[in-house]
Amino acid sequence: MTEPTSHPAPRVAIIGGGPSGLMAAEVLASAGVRVDLYDAMPSVGRKFLLAGVGGMNITHSEAKEAFLARYGQRRAEIARLLAGFDADALRAWIHELGIDTFVGSSGRVFPADMKAAPLLRAWLKRMRELGVQLHTRQRWLGWTADGALRLATTEGEIAVSADATLLALGGGSWPRLGSDAAWVELLQARGIAIAPLQASNCGFEVAGWSPLLRDKFAGAPLKNVSLRLDDEAPRQGEFVLTANGVEGSLVYALSAPIRERINRHGSATLQLDLLPQSPLGKLQAALSKPRGSQSLAKHLHRQAGIDGVKAALLRELAPAECFNDPARLAAALKALPLTLVRARPLEEAISTAGGVPFEALDARLMLKQLPGLFCAGEMLDWEAPTGGYLLTACFASGRTAGLGILEWLQNRVD
């Protein structure tokens, strides 16, 4: 009788300690796999922590169909990832870590104290208990000639072999937090076509504000306004005037279609409604009232509540003739043409569009051309607005990749 061959425990290398890499590490280590996780930074989860600074919006409570629609052209691919770990599963997982969640008035979901740090601390404690080996200050540089991973460490370069590797390297935004997109060239050199990385959830520039608007109103918020692009329904919210254009939640929500329009036509013109709650007819009637010796600025303030940055933007964008004609002035207030000419640089964006196309990956998120090499997180080619959709898909993709690696390790022919 021959002894069964005893295989050593498989070993998986994960490069990147953001939410997607950490989630894959948890899945694998829970199944008894030896996991070594490498990150270039002195600590993991830096972008995750930053996301918690203004209030960590980790997912959204809206109904499934509305939720999935947020992923636009990649709805079908992200739906497959979320089928294994959706917003409810994510909340249950957070609760298991001992952190409560709550639903805000907008339907957004937050951890109890709105911070990322307690959650990350509890998660890393669990990782240690599972035996995940975290190696920080270790930058992945590519592969050696015989296929080992090249890592730059504080003691010089090392080569590491693993049974399977997950790349969870993030996109190209906020590179000082670690995700510098150096992986793009490394994967391209291995024959993987990468969809160009572009800014998503980002600000946009105008051709140039007048010095008055720029110097006096950069940083001023425009509240209770709406923006409309082409025939889309107008979206209400707020944005901020910047020295060279606009940024803020309402602009971020429209960033994908604005960017695509600029890519195709060189610019995108939105209709800005400064008073979405006021019907045009009512506004016309109010502005048609005699103003006597009152200045137009005072008249606008009295009759329409327009002053400050809204009045300045009206002066900047409305045709000069409309200021003598109440009907045209009312129409301008309801539909100011705001022309945007370029996105702010990727480094400043909240997230990244483009990356490793799903077509290059199998259902387990393994690169079809490079068996044993998996990818997850923001480095994949998808985008979504803010609202917790980014993190939810990152967690779900990390989980899919972790389970995919397990399946691959079990089925591979030794």
Which residue number, 20 or 255, has a Cβ lying nearer to ligand FAD? 20
Q: Give CA–CA dist 139/141, Å, rounded.
A: 6
- Among 12, 13, 14, 15, interactor with ligand FAD by CB under 6 A: 15
Check: CB of residue 68 under 8 Å from CB of residue 82: yes
HSE (CB half, 13 Å, CA atoms) of 242? 16
Q: Helix, strand, coil shares of the chain as percentages rounded to 5? A: 40, 25, 35
39 binds ligand FAD (CB under 6 A): yes
Report the nearest approach of ligand FAD to the CB of residue 363 (Å): 19
- Among 172, 377, 402, 404, interactor with ligand FAD by CB under 6 A: 377
DSSP, collapsed to helix, strand or coil, labels residue 6 as coil
Give, rounded to a whole angstrom, the gap between the first and last alpha carbons of the chain: 22
Report the nearest approach of ligand FAD to the CB of residue 203 (Å): 12
Kindly state the number of chain residues that form the binding site for ligand FAD, as judged by CB under 6 A.
39
- Among 13, 51, 149, 333, interactor with ligand FAD by CB under 6 A: 51
Candidates 50-58, 96-104, 202-210, 339-347; binding stretch for ligand FAD (CB under 6 A): 50-58
DSSP, collapsed to helix, strand or coil, labels residue 105 as coil
Which residue number, 10 or 398, has a Cβ lying nearer to ligand FAD? 398
Q: Give the pair of three-digit tokens for residue 219.
A: 């940083």
373 binds ligand FAD (CB under 6 A): no
38 binds ligand FAD (CB under 6 A): yes
- Among 30, 31, 50, 89, interactor with ligand FAD by CB under 6 A: 50
Which residue number, 10 or 385, has a Cβ lying nearer to ligand FAD? 385
Residues in the chain: 414
Candidates 47-55, 80-88, 290-298, 363-371; binding stretch for ligand FAD (CB under 6 A): 47-55
Which residue number, 247 or 378, has a Cβ lying nearer to ligand FAD? 378
CA 179 distance to own-chain centroid: 13
The region, left, alpha or beta by phi > 0 then psi within -120 to 50, assigned to residue 112 is alpha
178 binds ligand FAD (CB under 6 A): yes
- Among 16, 203, 245, 385, interactor with ligand FAD by CB under 6 A: 16
Numbers of helices and strands, H then E, in the chain: 15, 20
239 binds ligand FAD (CB under 6 A): no
Check: CB of residue 400 under 8 Å from CB of residue 84: yes
Q: Which secondary structure element, helix H or strand E, spans residue 255, and what is its range? A: helix 255-265
Residues 123-152 that bind ligand FAD (CB under 6 A): 139-140
Which residue number, 258 or 350, has a Cβ lying nearer to ligand FAD? 350
Report the nearest approach of ligand FAD to the CB of residue 181 (Å): 8
Q: Give CA–CA dist 132/121, Å, rounded.
A: 14
226 binds ligand FAD (CB under 6 A): no
Which residue number, 57 or 303, has a Cβ lying nearer to ligand FAD? 57
In terms of Cα–Cα distance, which of 341, 340, 378, 380 is closest to 360? 380
- Among 12, 14, 18, 316, interactor with ligand FAD by CB under 6 A: 18
Show the site string, 52-81: x = touches ligand FAD by CB under 6 A, - = not: ----xx------------------------
Report the nearest approach of ligand FAD to the CB of residue 159 (Å): 14
Burial of 273 (0-12, 13-18, 19+ CB in 10 A): buried
The region, left, alpha or beta by phi > 0 then psi within -120 to 50, assigned to residue 142 is left
Report the nearest approach of ligand FAD to the CB of residue 230 (Å): 27
Report the nearest approach of ligand FAD to the CB of residue 104 (Å): 12
Helices 389-411 and 75-82 pack at an angle, to 10 degrees, of 70
Q: How far is CA 382 from CA 18, 171, 189, 209, 237, in A?
A: 17, 10, 22, 32, 24
Which residues, 6+ apart, have CB-to-CB distance to 26 below 8 Å?
123, 126, 127, 130, 132, 402
- Among 351, 360, 400, 404, interactor with ligand FAD by CB under 6 A: 351
Residues 259-318 that bind ligand FAD (CB under 6 A): none
Check: CB of residue 266 under 8 Å from CB of residue 283: no
Q: What are phi and psi of 224, to 5 degrees?
A: 50, 55
Report the nearest approach of ligand FAD to the CB of residue 108 (Å): 8
Q: Which residues bind ligand FAD (CB under 6 A)?
A: 15-21, 38-41, 44, 46-48, 50-51, 56-57, 139-140, 168-170, 173-174, 178-180, 182, 350-351, 377-378, 386, 388, 390-391, 394
